[in-house]
Amino acid sequence: MTHRYDIVIIGTGAGGGTIARELSTTGARILIVERGDYVPQEDENWSPSAVWKDLRYRTTERWLDEQGREFQPYTHYNVGGNTKYWGSVLYRLRREDFQEMRHEDGVSPAWPIDYETLAPYYDRAERMYHVHGQAGDDPTEPPRGPYPHPPVEHSREIGEIVLRLREQGLHPSPLPLGVIRPGEDGGCILCATCNSFPCKLHAKSEAEVCGIEPALRVPSVTLWTRALARRLIASGSRVEAVEIERGGDVVRVEAPLVIVCCGAVNSAALLLRSTSADHPQGLANSSGLAGRRYMAHLATMMQGFHPFRRNTTVFQKTVAINDFYLRGPDTPFPLGQIQSQGRTHGIMAKAVVPWAPLWAYEAWVARGVDWLAMTEDLPRDDNRVVIDSDGRIRLHYTPNNLGAHRRLVKETTRILKRLGFLVVMTHSHKNKNTTHQCGTLVFGSDPRRSVLDPYCRTHDVENLFVVDASFFPSSAAVNPGLTIAAQAIRVADHIKETQL
């Protein structure tokens, strides 16, 4: 059976949800295709046991690593994509992130656009995603106006930590957060189950609430859930149709414009699976780069613990330290970012190290303050998504820039010890952390060295765009979501001007 629309958007996460909303007002007949379903608003949304022990919302799909060993990726297939679970820390990249930057382990390449090009779209993305923050405190902040909303207030403990960080000569700044009407009736209640949990109140700024829901209010926009895009069918330099598996059937959807937003790994996989006589290496892959330059950030969870200090903070994710973002204290190379994290729950700790009793973990985490140390990893051709002969995703990823990350963790430990924490615990998902996946279909001006052009249109296929984390030529060291959304708005404007 064949269906016809003006635009097909595949995926409903940060890229798909945002571009769907932006294009919804054009009057075009838009079909949004999502492989997952809606996440129900239910008590389990905020249950650490459901989320961390039963992995209730995570995909059960297994990917393979470079050795062919199966692993369960930390990713989610549902309306809103991974944004349903994000901590909603919505940062702009630093101005320097758009330029070539030398790191301890090599060069982070320049983007084909500069910060000033994306700045007006960051403004719009911050409004769409209700970002709360405060300009002026962060030493690495790019030029910008005021945030749309004031910062989320620190708890008493975090407020005291901020003062003592300043006494250490550091420049702590409020984390920019996407939450809807915090503290107001019907708004965000600033609870302890935000990062990694779906919001039961729909008060988190995520792609279902801020993108898909408003888009679907327009009658010309349709959403198919439980609809998996299997391959794109192309002839010459045009996509003709998308082959979709839905309710046990395979249907064909034709549209003059196709926008792929499946997330960095799945978008690359979809293009690589879409081989044909004209495109034997996969679609839009004349450069041979489709799937390559996968990045994911180096991330270590850290906890400062003091046996006699109970931490009564509920919403803890409010402060960042960017003093080592561009250079370390004893190295000219960038180290990355330190953020406070959502509260760890005993069951989360037990999921990582199962042998101790839950009560011991509960007692432990009640006396801990949680942090995240995050470092940029660099694009390497060998870090890549490939498709096995049976169609499965195989992810080759050897982390790099580890020296810089070790220094950042060491420096964070020093800071936490100076704050009086007696023990500092660390944990990392290492090379299996796919939460900040990016960079498999990088954008650039040269078709031999990039897959997408600076507006995220594929160099090879004139009616095919990819709008999600795939376009990142470097991973930077701040959370990726706002940059995906800002570029999605920029691409939507470009499409309105040139394609419709």
> Which residues bind to ligand FAD, rule: CB under 6 A?
10-16, 33-36, 74, 77, 81-83, 85-90, 195-196, 228-229, 261-264, 266, 270, 435-436, 468-469, 479-482, 484
Q: State the minimum distance, in angstroms, from the CB of residue 242 to ligand FAD.
A: 9
Q: Is 407 helix (H, G, I), strand (E, B) or coil?
A: helix
Which of 33, 179, 295, 393 is the binder for ligand SF4 (CB under 6 A)? 179
324 contact choice in ligand FAD, ligand SF4, none (CB below 5 to 8 Å, kind-dependent): none
Residue 108 binds what, of ligand SF4, ligand FAD, none (CB under 5 to 8 Å, by partner type)? none
User: Residue 110 interacts with ligand SF4 (CB under 6 A)?
Assistant: no
Q: Is 490 among the residues that bind ligand SF4 (CB under 6 A)?
A: no
By the rule CB under 6 A, 194 interacts with ligand SF4? yes
Which of 83, 107, 110 is CA-nearest to residue 99? Answer: 110
> Which span sits near ligand SF4 by CB under 6 A: 100-108, 191-199, 320-328, 380-388?
191-199
Q: Is there a contact between 82 and 13 (Cβ–Cβ < 8 Å)?
A: yes
Q: Is 199 in the site for ligand SF4 (CB under 6 A)?
A: yes
Residue 228 or 425: the one with the smaller Cβ distance to ligand FAD is 228
Q: Which residues sit opposite 451 in a β-bridge? A: none
Say what angle helices 14-24 and 481-498 make with each other, to 10 degrees. Answer: 30
Shortest spacing between CB 317 and ligand SF4, in angstroms: 9
Contact flag: residue 419 with ligand SF4 (CB under 6 A)? no
Q: Which is nearer to ligand SF4, 82 or 413 (CB)?
A: 82
Nearer to ligand SF4, 165 or 194 (CB): 194
> Looking at the DSSP assignment, which residues form a beta bridge with residue 466?
260
Q: What angle do CA 181, 185, 187 make, to 5 degrees?
A: 35
In this structure, the chain runs to a length of 500
**Which of 50, 119, 135, 189 is close enough to bind ligand SF4 by CB under 6 A?**
189
CB of 15 to ligand FAD, least distance (A): 3
Segment 301 to 330, residues that bind ligand SF4, using CB under 6 A = 315
Q: How far apart are CA 181 and CA 204, in angstroms?
A: 9
In this structure, what is the dihedral angle of CA atoms 366, 201, 41, 468, given to the nearest 10 degrees? -90
Contact partners, residue 497, CB within 8 Å, separation at least 6? none
CA distance 33 to 11: 6
Relative to beta strand 257-260, strand 464-466 is: parallel
Q: What is the DSSP code string of 29-59? A: -EEEE-SSBPPP--GGGG-HIIIIIS-TTS-
Residues engaged in binding ligand SF4 (CB under 6 A): 179, 188-191, 193-194, 197, 199, 201, 203-204, 315
